[in-house]
Amino acid sequence: MVPAAEAEALILSLITPLDGSDALEAVALGAAAGRILAQPVTGALDMPHWDNSAMDGYAVRYADVAQASADHPVALTLTETIPAGKPPTQPVAPGQAARILTGSMMPTGADTVVMQENTQLQDNRVLILDAPQPGQFVRHRGSFYQAGQPLMAVGTRLGGPELAVLAAAQCVNVPVFRRLRVAILSTGDELVNPETPLQAGQIVDSNQYALAALVQAAGAEAIPLGIVPDQPKALAAAIQSALAQADVILSSGGVSVGDFDYVDRILADLGATLRIRSVAVRPGKPLTVATFPSVNAQHSPILYFGLPGNPASALVSFWRFVEPALRKLSGLREGWSPQFVEAVTQHPLKGGGPREIYLWGRLSPNSANPSRYDFALAGGSHSSGNLVNLAGANALVVIPVGTELLPAGEVVRVMIVR
């Protein structure tokens, strides 16, 4: 059994992130959410685009108002009102001021903005009741970003803030990596689709749906290939079909030591290199990781993950080992590994044995101390075949190898899964 951290490191070492012209595509700005930037972006506009006001008030010359106070206000003649989106029509001369709004372009001659709360309007004059700081409330052109400088790096996942930056830079066609293609198949004569009436001894295939949802949440394209019976020829044909259309293949079931567990043998027959056969985790010990040569020597090999058939084992295996691989392969610059945090367990946690144990539950901020997390164990059985209490879980608590008991109130290591 390979320890969890060692297995993750080995899997990541097999991967070269997407690269090259065949991995790139251009998408409209509005369709780029969640995608990963494939080329560096350099803006052609300064940000701000011009000097503008950060406050509603009056654009003035600092030299005119440096001595202003409530007892000795300075009176300035108003020249114009500058609305946002319109350029000033005249400069501000000594003894003058222009009414200005947040975001409005600064007029020539003015170098400071006095907020309107520190003023009093009298006909066509404004009284300045308090001396501002030099340059106060002026956002200068290029103070946030200067045109021609690097704006955003390759490997950046595009969320709301990143899309806002691209929009401000008028980057309307965004170069991103294509989505990974992940083929998913379930193995087992006992499996039936959810719409099929259940017969005695049969099991509904839930893994296909769970894994497809997790793949899509990871930003990849899920290719469901359905249920494959426990027949070597059928399994070999299904894997060959997956190889022709996917970057990564996920199967569930058929990787243990049962009489009908054919996955490892078929992989070897098809020319795969088996990298991992089992991992020291519970649930999820039977995990096969294999690679098929890529048709392009510069690309990563095609990754095959043979996950356990039990639903909880399949999901834990995906979160712990598959998702990091998808992150790196997709072109993401960093942050491939799962995120672990420390939390205080609200329940006693039983462990023991030679494997790292993962139990699922809810991670939440502590009500008394929001900087600290609490972990509440999901109720009910934590059997690898029980998926019912996985619903609503957002984290896995990790019980180290050989630890028999972690009492309630203990600080524990928790892996965030969603």
Q: What is the CATH number of the domain that holds 36?
A: 3.90.105.10
Of the ranges 66-70, 97-101, 219-223, 363-367, which one carries the lowest mean pLDDT score? 363-367
Q: Both 204 and 256 in a single domain?
A: yes
Phi, psi of 117 (to 5 degrees): -65, -20
pLDDT value at position 176?
A: 97
Q: Both 196 and 156 in a single domain?
A: no
Q: What is the CATH number of the domain that holds 87?
A: 2.170.190.11
User: Cα 44 to the chain's mean position, in Å?
Assistant: 28
Q: Both 213 and 358 in a single domain?
A: no
pLDDT value at position 47?
A: 96
Q: Both 101 and 237 in a single domain?
A: no
pLDDT value at position 262?
A: 84
Q: Both 245 and 318 in a single domain?
A: yes
- Cα–Cα distances (Å) from 88 to 60, 81, 83, 114, 201, in that order, read 13, 8, 9, 17, 80
Close Cβ partners of 346 (under 8 Å, ≥ 6 residues apart) = 374, 375, 376, 377, 408
Q: Which residue segment(s) compose the domain that 279 sits in?
A: 4-18+178-329
- Domain edge (last residue) among 278, 298, 329: 329
CB of 408 within 8 A of CB of 397? Answer: no
Q: Both 187 and 290 in a single domain?
A: yes
The total number of structural domains that make up the chain: 4
pLDDT value at position 20?
A: 76
Q: Both 169 and 208 in a single domain?
A: no
From the list 282, 286, 239, the residue with the least C-alpha distance to 258 is: 286
- Does 245 fall in a domain? yes
For a pLDDT cut of 70, what percent of the chain falls above it?
98
Q: Dump the DSSP string for 43-88.
A: -SS-BSSS-EESSSEEEE-HHHHTT--SSS-EEEEEEEEE-TTS--
- Does 91 fall in a domain? yes
Q: Both 377 and 397 in a single domain?
A: yes
Q: Both 187 and 267 in a single domain?
A: yes
Q: Both 310 and 368 in a single domain?
A: no
pLDDT in tens, 319-330: 999 999 999 999
Q: What is the CATH number of the domain that holds 349?
A: 2.40.340.10
Q: Both 187 and 304 in a single domain?
A: yes
Rounded CA-CA distance 348/408 in Å is 4
* Type of residue at 67: Q
Q: Both 381 and 238 in a single domain?
A: no
- Does 334 fall in a domain? no
pLDDT in tens, 167-206: 999 999 999 999 999 999 999 999 999 999 999 999 999 9
How is residue 189 written in tokens? 């004569």
From the list 334, 332, 387, 328, the residue with the least C-alpha distance to 360 is: 387
- Domain edge (last residue) among 129, 161, 177: 177
Rounded CA-CA distance 328/326 in Å is 6
- Domain edge (last residue) among 276, 302, 329: 329
Helix (H) or strand (E) holding 262: none
